[in-house]
Structure 1
């Protein structure tokens, strides 16, 4: 090869290189364009198929193959194609025709010439000529000079466009690119389209419901399915989930889950992971044992109650709780009503211990944390009742009332104090004529156990105090326990003249009837003093308004009495009565001094200082009593004179003055004894308890008296007298309390119970008097009969109140059921509107109106649900409260009410009402309808339970056998009284007929004339026959209704009610025939 030929080849090579660059740029542009199109199509395909693994695999393979094919076709194939020199030369000559095939001929001949063959002489000339004519040709002029740059720019733009799509493009573009082509190079990206499933893996309580919700993340689907498989099944069940309006969420409610459930959610090609609902028995308290540790001052040993929960203990007590759980727990705590948390100690497997200090009324429940760290309330809410340490009960047994005595008498006083835990001290306080207060220590506890009951005596030797008629001694008792002090009422010992003066006044011609009226002033002053004393003593127990009203009443009374006393004194002065006699003068002086003493008393009362008013009130009382003593002396003196009728004007004026105001102020101080420490219901419960205790003690006393030998009665032994007097005082106090409650509650039963208690107290008073043994026993039976009557009346009052509560709760349950029915109807209408929205939404206006109606309907449903929940809360509280009130009186009813309340608590009706509202808000209308149906069923069950409780109460209206027997015994007591009264009248009649004095007077109410009791008298025979007939009928009734004797009566060894009535009948017949029947 010559040098010129090589030069020609170099020009061809330059053109060839230039051509390859252009082919490379052009092929790259086409390849990149095609690749981008393929990638975009691949991304759209996998996005359409929701990035399922199968779709991703297929699209990845085919897209890569297509991209490689495009690069092979548009880039590799043109570059690998061989371009001959002749083709390049011909391409050059096409652009430069002036060469006239010189270049093609030279290249063609030069390529054909063999390396070692003889050279063609023409070839060098031809080459030289081709070079000469092509020397001015440049390679870059043969092509478009901008084409390589344009192709490069297009290629660069395509690459930049792809990068920008990855960075700034749709989220799914980058996700799909990485998922298709770089899934193994970068960390696995979070799925772009996935299902957010709640609650996922969780534990649920056996028998409970669980809502599964699925939220579509990044995509939409018209159908979402839940696939579930129970532990005991191998088949996956497919269920369509409900769409929630206004959100991209779906829901499904598992009902009554009793075994493990595996489930997952699928929407189109997107499937969630598989989850598990594990069914476990949530930690629950199965049993609670209580150990009461009472305050040290009570001296009570610890008390244990097993399988309980309700705490009722004295304030300051510490109660140890031992809770037994169904499963083992890690931690537990006691939650009090005020939010206080008390940790519990795990002392053994499934056994916990904690302690509660009883400070106030509250409630508690136990929160348990199981081994999975799940916390839940594991018990019912139990009440805590904090009992107050009751103050001591102090009673003045003897004399037990105001007493009049001569200045030489010895007056025995006996004080008794009772306390629930122990008496620390017992003292007697007294003053003589309002002077310095004296204290007699009757008992002082020093060491050892404090007695729960103590009594002491003190004798007033009146001769030692140099008293005169009109003087007085005031005394009261005070008892203390560890925390409280109780003061008794104040009593008076009045010094009276000797009996001769009274007899003279009584039979004097001009003093008739004035003696009773003469003591009105001192009696009223005594009442004012006693009322002031109660104001001082009971100030803390009064409500502020009640205290002010009572203080105002006492102040006004003192002021009026002062005016009346001054009026009487002025009249004596105006009529110059004081100048007639020395006694009139002393009478007037004492009245004036009484008025003067009432002035500071009235001032202290006006200044709200009743304690300071006591002393001047006592001084006023002293002068009034002395004035009355002088008045009685005047009566005696003028009674002995011949002109007694004309000279007794002063006494008559006093009598007229006293009678003028006596009726107005007769009962004005009764309100001072009212107490406001408890509500009426609690007070009635407490009164019932006290009444039962009184009846029990009276029954024991009767039994002891029955077994006592007759010689004890004949010898005048009074070993049981003090016990009977104590019962009498307590019965009288309880009667006053019931009388006050009857006024406050307008209850006829309470009023009758109060009257029965007063009758019982009277029988007790007669029982403790000096009477024959048989009469004493019968009085005790009659007292017990009255106590039983009062107890039956209280029980009836409580039963009526409970019956009213049950009727009200039954009506409330009906109202709740109707309200739930209204909610269900609204939900059904809402569901129908929802299903018809697509067909009815022909215009935007109609669609908007329907949406507004649906919104209003939902709002109404939510309001109804709020009211329903409030009603359910009140119903649950009312059930437990009524169950506690029913208590032991109506145990079956109480248990049924407690069961109804526990069912509400266990079924969590209020919580399900809230869940139903949440489902409606989410648009889960089908699940909400199922939930509301379940709530309706629970409400119907609640109605049945309340009806069952009411039925159990109605069935007890006729009374148990024990109640019937008690009623029969009460009637028997009345008949015994009638028999004894008739017996006494018969004895009196025939005793008088024989010329002897009767042993006692017939005193029973409604007794007929003695002549009617003659054996041959018609009325006498009829009366006896009627009594015998009544006994026979009552005996038959008792045999029919009483049935077997209850266990607690068996210790008295009764053979049956018939034997008692038979003895009564035989006793009457014996008396009848003895006296001539």
Structure 2
């Protein structure tokens, strides 16, 4: 076919489509307008339906016929017409006479295949196509005003759609009125009719009373109600769109009531509505049958119905209803209701197996056929956490002698049940020994806790193990539950010789650490790191494992190099000095280096289990070298004629060891500090996150309370509950993520084992409270959700406090508390000693209360020493401040050597034997040791005050402490008539004229001297403030003047103390408090710009300033 002819046909077809489209738009617009008119007419003539039904049918019938005719004329028939291309061409020829039938001729010839072979046809088509190209065929063929018809169709369609969406309920109700009235339209009511009449409805249901009267012109109707003992109360009924019909809503029918209706002179009979209560759940008992591998006995509890159990647990539900039941049903959230087993008329049971987080519903039906609103209960699959092991005794590395008996005690926290608890210890490189402790473990559980505590203790008799000085024993614990296994940290016993006790007695704790001990400690750290990496291998990637192995190999190689150098130097010096025992030390160092050499390639290859054997050998040789070195020092220290050469050689050897140890430790300190900084950063982020969650939960609790107090529409209430539920779910998810992060921090050593246990308990409690709040929101119960949310906020606050105490900022508070404890112990011991010195005659028996007080002091001193030990262990895990752990460790060693609790116990025994002289001697020794501890902790406390805010706070606390002590002393020293006066009030002259007793004067002097020492120590914190320095100088000048002029026996001196010392001290204390508050406010103003602002508020502020700028222009 000719290409130009096909193009001509396409143009004619496009014109034909425009013609059909324009007629369709016109027909659709007219049809929709007619439909709207018909619907409006139906509403207008509705009254005729009841008054003149025939006319109504006539009007509506004619209108409908007219609309159908319009639809047929303008839409259906035009669309059924299908003109041919020849007809289209003739129409165009009529509209364009100058074409002279060129277009019709071309189309006619093109329709016959034979004519297309005529050579003139191509010219004819070309001429017709040229004529058609000069005009717009589609515009000529479509109807006149086609654009307006198109706009009319679109507007009519939009109007119909709008009316359908916005007024569908109106047309539906009007249509229902048509149908409702159809049954009675043909007859007149003979009397007043009332629905529902007598009825039985569920309690709380809303009942609609409808009254219909034959008097269509009735102006109103009245309903009279009687409920209980109330009198008949009239209420006006509401008129409806139906003439003569009125209604009234009875909301929340909870009890039986009677009613009747009056319309004009017509009165209905008295009807009764009986409210029937649906059955409710009275009690719900849940029985857990745990999987066999958990090995936990079944547990039954009466709870809220929510299920908390591990996957695979069989759950039996027993429901007790408030009424006799005809049927009880239950279903999972995505299932269908299933019949429960009725054990009695009010008891029903069902069961299921916990597989995933889900919920189940209970529906109870009584014999009246009333059912309760299905109650939803939630199923939570509790994760099976691995056992958590805490070593309670000794909980650290020890250095016992070979005849000691060491008690080992561990507690294991397991959520469902422990199946294995084993102690594994190894003597040097001998095969490991496993001791099963589960049979003898004591089992306990706190009332509200879900986890079970297992405590097991055993005793290692070192003499039976045939240990020798220089040997070591490593031990750890394994605990296994049904699915997982956990291990504790690795601990060591280093067997020391008996001669070390003698050496300690000679040195009195004043010597420095032995030069060889650091090398053994470094090797022990390598063993511990190798063992930990081996334990963590299943939980880390191959890349992390290889990187850790390479780091251990590098560290071991560096230590080997240092040991070899030390062995060479020791051998050289031994040959020149001729020292006895130098050959043994050289052998030990050489053997240790050889063992390390065998360990390095194994570590490089990743064979950690095989590398542990040579690592342990090297550790033992280093311990033996340490024992030999100490033995030589004891022997050389005992000799009286050691040469200067030997002394110089020993000092040089010690310096050499120290230099090598410093090089080794420098390799570890940076890495350890980085790890500690990461851990501290993690704890800081956790603390901030908990604070944020607590604030968000507080806001959520307040919103829950508001929602429970408001009476919002049901749809609005559901939307608000859904929003609150999503927010609560988000808080729960974030707390669960934080819990996992805290477990990782705990496993990495960020917390001590006791602190870790308390943190996890707080985390678990907060998680449970948040989950209960979420469950109540899912039940659409915001009041109980707010109550549970309050408990969750308290749990989060407790968790925040624990994190804060564990953070570095809490270390200062711990030191301060411990310092106050030692000070109080020293003061109490001093008062007891003073009372003992006043005992006259000395041979008189000591009062029994002195013995009891001395025994109480002994117990308090043991507790204080235990707290000091924990504080020292906590400080050892922190990189800052430098030297704090060392000072605390030295203090701990000094107190152990001075044996404070033992001396107090001996003083108590002396009091029991009436040996007052010996009791006084022991008490004085104990008091002096306690005072030294107080001073040492005060120096540590000063060291911890690093920034100006902490320094001012410490100065304020010390000033308050001194002032309270002096006020207490003044209260005790006043005459009885003045003792009741408040601090700061001048008592005036002493009426009684009694003089102070000598012992009171001595106590005053001690108190003043003690306060002076404390005040002198805070001067270093005030150097940057000239005004405070001046006030402090005047205060100290007054203090020293009072101290110099204080003389006993004259009670008037108390007035001098009050005037010259107490009042200036209170003013100085107020000045310190003001400066501290100003500093805190300044820090707040400086840092507030860095706080994160919510995006929505940031946008509001930016928009405000933008509009302000525009307004200014």
TM-score class, shorter-chain normalisation, is 0.3 to 0.5
Q: TM-score, normalised by structure 2?
A: 0.41
Higher relative contact order (CA 8 A, sep 6+): 1
